[in-house]
Amino acid sequence: MTAASAASRGMLVCHACGLLSKAQPHVHEMSCPRCGDHLHFRKPNSIQRSWALLLTAMLLYIPANLLPMMHTSSLFGSQSDTIMSGVVYFWTSGSWYLALIIFFASIMVPLLKMVALMLLLITAQRRSRWQLQQRTRLYRLVEFVGRWSMLDIYVVAVIVALVQLKGLATILPGPGAIAFGAVVVLTMFAAMAFDPRIMWDSLETERG
Amino acid sequence: MKEDGMTEPLVACHECDLLQREVPVPRGGVVRCVRCNAVLYRSHPDSFERTLALTAGGIVLFAIANSFPLIGLKIQGQLIETTLFQTVQTLWNEDMKSVGMLVFATTMLMPGLQLAALTYLLLPLRVGRAPAHFAIVYRVMQSVRPWGMVEVFMLGVLVSLVKLAHLAGIVPGAALGAFAVLMFVMAAIAAVFDPRDLWARLAAVESRRHAQRHVHDPHRAGVTS
């Protein structure tokens, strides 16, 4: 194969401005000659950092789904809503399209994202050459879609701010919101820590 | 960037690190990595001017979106309104400081920083000056970008409107419309902005300044490149 990676030729591409530059020998802390950003051949400790963030997110995904996102209390009693009960509420009250949006954005997207990152990390660790193009595409999808999970946080924020009728009805944010926000942020950081170029490095190592 | 032993300019894919020859982009075209299909660079007609125009519009919309009420609820003849910052304050006061900070960062701080940084970088270049600390501001702008979530917030507001519709009458505020348009403006900036073009402009401005310093003729009209 004639294809060569920039790293194998001692060249680095800057993440911030895209400039390709030659690595200087005997220099440990390299920075981009154009924009000054840190340069490295591969993101440092990419796999370990990504795993650590991902595992934390997976743990927090449990309370995020079990603990209530909102407490509603009025003269007629009080109730606590988890993400799933919100989906059920919309489904039964006829807004099935909203139920689907929330179900996908808040339950399926974080779950699929974590499974996808796990797959990427395990295959990269095993230096697998399987479906490199599709795996890179999966990584792009994970990076693109992650932000949409913030949806439920914003819903809670707006509703809590509006419904503050002391005495008549109050809606308070629940602990699930903290866990859920943490899941979104941690999975975003996990995806950013992962370096897709590591997957392609498997093409360059000699293995029998 | 012609270095020793290199005859043709090269680019490396940021997703698979493949080294490949830099090819000219057709106007409005996209150049993709031959191995992993990642977008290497694209050319937009008038990328610089369009980004600047969109940023200017974005700043106006951002100001409106943050200073007017987002939505109001009409309950028993009483109108309760909230601005974006008030939602952050409520979360903060309800002992949800982390969630409040998250909302503040993703809907106000990060998009605001992005717009401010773009203005700082583009406006002086437009009039032929290189702004100070160009590289640092550029890096801030690039690192802030993934955390601005105006479009997700907009969808969140719409969902909560439907959720509240059975409780009370809903009065959409001026900020709601501004946010809706800002969402499209931010998406357009992301699509039109071209880092290569920006750095090329900076280089052009700097070399022109450099050339002017060495020309003794005080009449600038006489300087041709």
pTM for the full model?
A: 0.89
- pLDDT number for residue A24: 82
Residue B221 has pLDDT above 60, yes or no: no
Domain boundaries, chain A: 1-41, 45-201
Question: Which chain A residue is nearest to residue B86, measuring alpha carbons?
Answer: A161
SS3 B8: coil
| pLDDT confidence band for B218 (50 / 70 / 90) | low
pLDDT of residue B4: 46
Looking at the fold, whether B195 and B97 belong to one and the same domain comes out as yes
Same domain, B22 and B126: no
Statement to judge: residues B85 and B192 lie in one domain = yes
Architecture of domain A45-201: Up-down Bundle (1.20)
- Classify residue B225: in a domain, yes or no: no
Residue B222 lies in a domain: no
| Total residues found in chain B within this entry | 225
Q: Which domain, by its residues, includes B93?
A: 47-207
A-B Cβ pairs (cutoff 8 Å, strict)? 189
Closest residue by Cα to residue A102 from A73, A127, A70: A70
Question: Is it the case that residue B5 has pLDDT exceeding 70?
Answer: no
Query: Which pLDDT belongs to residue A165?
Result: 58
Do residues B37 and B58 both lie within one domain? no
pLDDT band, residue B18 (cuts 50/70/90): very high
Q: pLDDT per position in chain A (208 positions), as tens?
A: 457 899 988 899 998 998 998 888 877 788 999 999 999 999 999 999 999 999 999 999 999 999 999 888 877 778 888 999 989 988 998 888 889 988 998 999 999 999 999 999 999 999 999 999 999 999 999 999 989 989 999 999 998 888 875 556 788 889 999 999 999 999 999 999 999 999 999 888 654 3
Q: Residue B160: its chain A contacts at CB < 8 A?
A: 154-155, 158-159, 162
B98 with B51, same domain? yes
Helix locations, B68-194, DSSP H: 84-93, 97-104, 110-126, 134-144, 150-164, 174-192
Tell me the residues of chain A between 41 and 70 that have a Cβ less than 8 Å away from chain B. Answer: none
Inter-chain residue contact B80 with A173, CB threshold 8 Å? no
Confidence of residue B217 (pLDDT cuts 50, 70, 90): low
Would you say residue B220 lies in a domain? no
Task: Give ipTM to 2 decimals.
Answer: 0.89
B53 three-state secondary structure: helix
pLDDT above 90 coverage of chain B, percent = 65
Quick count: other Cβ atoms within 10 Å of Cβ A68?
19
Counted domains in chain B: 2
Distance CA B106, CA B150 (A): 7
Same-domain pairing of B34 and B59: no
- Inform me whether the pLDDT recorded for B9 exceeds 60: yes
In terms of domains, do B37 and B93 share one?
Answer: no
Is residue B155 included in any domain, yes or no?
Answer: yes
Question: Does the beta-carbon distance from B196 to A18 stay under 8 Å?
Answer: yes
Whether residues B111 and B68 fall in one domain: yes
Closest residue in A to B148 (Cα–Cα):
A147
Residues B56 and B148 in one domain: yes
Q: Is residue B216 part of a domain?
A: no
Mean pLDDT over B213-225 rounds to 54
Let me know if residue B111 belongs to a domain: yes
CB contact residues (below 8 A), chain A span 108-167, against chain B: 132-133, 136-137, 139-140, 143, 147-148, 150-165
**Residues B31 and B69 occupy one common structural domain:** no
Domain match, B30 and B83 both: no
Q: Do B171 and B195 reside in the same domain of the chain?
A: yes
Angle between helices A175-193 and A132-145 (to 10 degrees): 140
Q: How far apart are CA A144 and CA A129, in angstroms?
A: 24
